[in-house]
Structure 1
Amino acid sequence: MKERLLIADVRMPDGMRVDVSVVEGKIDAIGPDLRAENTVARENGNGALLLPGFVEGHTHLDKTMWGMRWYCNSVGPKLTDRIENERRFRAESGHDAAAASLALARAFLQMGTTRLRSHVDIDTDAGLKHLEGVLKTRDTLRDVLDMQTVAFPQSGMLKREGTVSLLDDALHAGADVLGALDPALIDGDPVASLNATFDLASRHQKPIDIHLHEPAEIGAFTMNLLLDRVEALGMQGRVVISHAFCLGALPPRERDPLLERLAQLNVALLTTAPASVPVPPLAVCIEKGVTLFGGNDGIRDTWNPFGSPDMLERAAQIAMRYDLRRDDAIAMAFDCVSDAAARGCGFADYGLHAGARADLVLVDAETVAHAVAARPVRKLVVANGRVVARNGRLIEDL
């Protein structure tokens, strides 16, 4: 017998009152007055707003201390200070990536996130230990949380001997995406670093998601080198550039040709919308046809005491960073943690339409903008056709 669920009386983002029929984890139909068979489990939405399950496009589940004791941060100001401090802390404290990632992943589900991309440190000291922990979490929640893991060299590709070999091992072990970091400013040789990255990705037929913090002209130089390789190797639609701070610092005459190349090669951008550094211009990216989506980065870790598994909160931060105030503009911020994030990460069968995976969130809000601004309790969260949270509380058997 097919598993069926009917969610009655909900409002689509356009205001239309509908029912949603779910069969075997997929949306079977959306429309008014759908007929329920005797075998249907039924939920009454009571006119709540229906949203698609949220997408976290960039986080670091392995690093988090969510739900643990407060970490007192006294680290130095440089990127390398934070990298070395974190490596030392994790080794000395015995930080457990399996337990940490499971706690935060469950919190994401509770708040309505059903698709998630997590970068995971691949380190010459720790080896694949952190990845193994996150892969356990991915396996534990595989029926409800669609999780991608990125094998991420937190110290760069070339700085520590053996990193490329470990990344090769990580992709063999089940990592979905190959990460990279600042080829010029961390590795000191952007050509060799990018060559190693694209060679490894090509051999494994894996997509790439690179952290690019490099500023202004340095970042633009690296980005052009990267785009040259995307074009030469036919990797259109398989590369994400995370952060891309340089695009927020360049004048339009230098920035716009880069955005046009990004659009032509279908290379997506990820922003966490930080307040302290330049960010890629959202409106111009949309105008040029570039996919720009959102994520938290680290949440409550040695780098950063902030962040939350609530993607409505991240959408609100994106809206504030880009000074979005109109309802239609705030809906663009929500797109960054929903449709655009699904496109950027390559999550298939996403959205509110028949045939999509049944990832649904109900909230008491009048519009999408209202939901982003008010961040109401999640009345119901459905992941892959299964009710996983109700009235802000996770179902305990997950």
Structure 2
Amino acid sequence: MTSLSQQANHKVSFFSIFKIFFSLGWVSFGGPAAHIGYFRHAFIEKRQWLTDEEYGQLVALSQFLPGPGSSQVGFGIGYQKGGLTGGIAAFLGFTLPSVILMLVLAIVSSQLTDASYFQHVIHGLKLLAVVVVADAILGMYNSFCQQKLTISVAIATAVALLLLPTLATQVSVLVIAALIGGYCLSNTKPVEPQNFSIKQVSITPLALFLLLLFGLPLVGQWSSQVQLFSDFYQAGSLVFGGGHVVLPLLQNIVGDQLSQDSFLTGYAAAQAVPGPMFTFATYIGYQLLPSSPIAGALIATLGVFIPGFLLLIAVLKNWQQLASLPKIAGALKGVNAAVVGLLISALYQPVFTSAITVPLDLAWVLIGALLLKQFKLPIVWLVALFALAGLATPIVQNLI
């Protein structure tokens, strides 16, 4: 079969990829689940860079690897359209807005995050995340859940994660879905593997990942900068299950070097700004290297992101080739259905539960869904409207 990404198989320049992801980086509120929705809208529906099947494979792969899931998905999209430099452009573009905002927040501390109007704007943007995630679920459900078995896998995954929302449950349901798909869905025609212009051997990034993982602790005493990079690299190598898992790991790294109030302020800020939550490391790095705080922020940020990207590069090329095998293609179909279940559970917790507190919130969400699906309003306009809705919510609530 001919995929949409093969129809538009031309390579995209570094600057073009950077520009697209930089724009997304300023408006991608709501965490990893919402980011998957934003990416799907931007690169499947709007630009047709990938098919839903290829995108689902990339999302599924990011669930199996440690690191920032949504950023790995973005890196993978950039990698497929522009090689290694395209992946770097996607990472820089999507992450830079969040890094800038976290640096500003680190400088001004908690003065802005404590302001009531800021909290109202953030609340409105959380409501937009409900719309985006729900839209992603609908689109991916229509693509991946066309049989009784795949529908059952998606619902069973959602039920399992809603009742037992742990990392072990997430990994278990993905493995079970892969086994079910490999056994029961292997007669489906596989997705044709992608052809990449970058002819890197997969063992190279894997070897570099292991070298840094085990070698950095041995040379950390050379300087405070090297030790800082080592600490955050170790954290990034161990984070399975999304951005929130990085909290306890970074807390162990920080120890008594940072006050609890300052640490939690940074954590709250990371949830409030758009882009990847892993830029929490930007805030912490700024605080941990007072002699050169900007350098500390950048070192910590690179340290926590790099391991996940090295592993993605190591696996991605073979992953696409393996996807052409019937058993693997069937397993991927099962995992894609499970990813829909993952998003359904994420729509409820944390997206829905953190955003919908009063009936008016649900009313804003329904209006947003209408504007997105029927009137095709661009995301940037929806961001502005939902920011205003957040500011207006307490006023309207007092009138009704």
- TM-score, with structure 1 as normaliser: 0.24
**In proportion to residue count, which structure has more helix?**
2
- TM-score, with structure 2 as normaliser: 0.24
Determine which structure has greater relative contact order: mean sequence separation of CA pairs < 8 Å that are 6+ residues apart, divided by chain length: 2
